Structure 1
Amino acid sequence: MKINQYLDATYLKTINQANISEDENQQKVIDLIREAILYHYKLIMIRAKHIPLAKKMLLEANSDVLIGTVIDFPEGNSSIKSKLEEAKKAILLEADELDFVVNYKAFKKGEIEVIKSEILECTKLCLENSKVVKFIIEVAALSTEEIIAISQLIKEVVLTNFDETAAKRVFVKSSTGFFKTIDNKPNGATLETMKLISENAKPLQIKAAGGVRDYGTALKMICLGVNRIGTSSAKEICTKQENNNSEY
């Protein structure tokens, strides 16, 4: 197993979040792209504004690394119309995969029809444009029961409205990595939450994101059935495997 092909190497901070200049922030994106080319990651996850730069660099390197971006990130509480408009712009920029933040606050309020419509319309747009779609449910904001319910809901909407092959292009993703927790509780993927998602969202694909920073944890996630790992520590994970068995 080559773990690099499970990795969505991620840099999503704005200049305000990183507290650096625009040039410095762009340099971080450039460094990520170069690293992705070197280590042959599956995908780089970046803000939409950086997609043209990434496309140019990947083309020049003749690299098959994919480009992903986020939609309605990190809050997820915009209207469906707004999400679709943002997604259409990302599609025009030729993003390969789109990670939508589900309106988990509406879900927690019991607004199930809103969530059903959101999943349906966003999936339809992406599949019609041959894009992979991922739905971020923000596990740190949800109870165990809510994680189970929303995973099952996404699966139900996708399998009811699209053919079986669609399941291979739709992911349930754990986290944004930006959610503010109290008492320093994990704000991203844990083995417990990914087990819940895997048990309740399959045959959809599963992505663990937020808090996966080492090879051992990444390997455990894959053993749970995780298909993709979003991480800002992709190099460390690949280097560890390289040291162990010379595969990356």
Structure 2
Amino acid sequence: MSSLPADISLDTLTPEAVAKTIDHALLRPDMTVDEVVEGCRLCARYKTASVCVRPCDVRVAAGELKGTGVAVGTVIGFPHGSSPASVKVCEALAAIDDGAEELDMVLNIGRLKSGRTGEVRSEISQVVRAAKERLPGCCVKVILECSLLTDDEKVAACRAAEDAGADYVKTSTGFSSGGATLADLRLMRASTDPATTRVKASGGIRTLDYLVECLQAGADRIGASATAAIVDDLRARKASAPSA
């Protein structure tokens, strides 16, 4: 399911492969339309996997990135996950109609912590089913917000998301009390079937070295806003490396 080398390291990764792991995040609440356009153009230059924009910016991003091969993604129930399932379904369908191909939805954290895993699974299933009926091939990622969960709750969330047909489980929104940790990534990878469910690391990934560590810990996709700095760092290291 991944185009990454089996042996992930700075030696085996290319700048192009690293860029293709990144969902470039444009989610700051104060971001202007011009900044969104600029961020989309950066994604087109670097050939990232996707851009992840606010729901109000999906049409702008879809217009900017048409024909570039960069997918347009957005967030659902963001950042707290507390909207009713019916609202999340409406958000998902509206986003797809505006041009989104990937959806990063926040699960209902309070319901999960209440032990109501069946409700969490049902909600995810409703969003997944509606999204894939509207757009076959739509990629749905479920944000756990790991910094608010116990390890047992993280495992339960991973299994609920997998059972509901989600394509990814994701560590964080980047707007809570913590971001991606290597321990959480390893736990999420161990709690899901790699043949069906991938792992996305998001929150606090600002350097090339940490991105590589996240990939080594089991992540397939990386949410980041420091895309240019990360990819340019690898290009610089490759350029300065002594020839064999």
Normalized against structure 1, the TM-score is what?
A: 0.85
Alignment partner of 1:172 is 2:158? no
1:46-77 residue CA offsets vs partner (Å, 9 max, x unmatched): 01211222222223xx4111100000100101
Matched with 1:21 is none
Counterpart among 202, 222, 226 of residue 215 in structure 2 = 222
Determine if contact 1:9/1:41 at 8 Å carries over to the other structure: yes
SS in 1 for 2:87: helix
Q: Deviations over 1:211-233 (max 9, x none)?
A: 11111111111112211000111
Gaps of 5+ in 2: 1-12, 240-244
Question: For residue 201 of structure 1, what is the aligned residue in structure 2?
Answer: 192
Matched, 1:212 2:205: yes
Residues 92-112 of structure 1 deviation map (CA, whole Å, 9 limit, x = unaligned): 112010111000111101112
How many pairs align? Answer: 220
AA aligned to 1:205 is R
Identity of aligned residues (%): 29
Q: Decide whether the 8 Å contact of 1:154 with 1:201 is kept in 2.
A: no
Alignment RMSD (CA, Å): 1.4
Q: Which runs of 4+ in 1 moved over 4 A?
A: none
How many Å separate the matches in 2 of 1:155 and 1:53? 31
Q: 2:96: which partner in 1?
A: 91
Inter-partner Cα distance in structure 2 for 1:27 and 1:100: 25
Q: Output the CA distance in 2 between the equivalents of 1:220 and 1:118.
A: 32
Partner letter of residue 195 of structure 1?
Answer: R
- CA deviation vs aligned residue, 1:5-46 (integer Å, no higher than 9, x gap): 00000011222xx6xxxxxx1122112111111111110000
SS at match of 2:232: helix
1:231 to 2:228 alignment: no
Whichever structure has more helix as a proportion of its residues is 1
**Structure 2 counterpart of 1:7, from 18, 22, 38:** 22
Q: How far, CA to CA, are the matches of 1:176 and 1:39 in structure 2?
A: 23
Residues of 2 paired with 1:58 and 1:213: CA distance?
24
Partner-residue secondary structure (3-state), 2:200: strand
Write out per-residue CA displacement over residues 157-183 of structure 1, whole angstroms, 9 at most, x where no aligned residue. Answer: 33xxxxxxxxxx71001100111x3xx
Using the size of structure 2 for normalisation, the TM-score is: 0.86
Q: Tell me, what secondary structure is at the counterpart of 1:88? A: helix
Aligned residue for 2:141?
Answer: 134
User: After the TM superposition, which of the residue ranges 217-226 and 95-104 deviates more from structure 2?
Assistant: 217-226
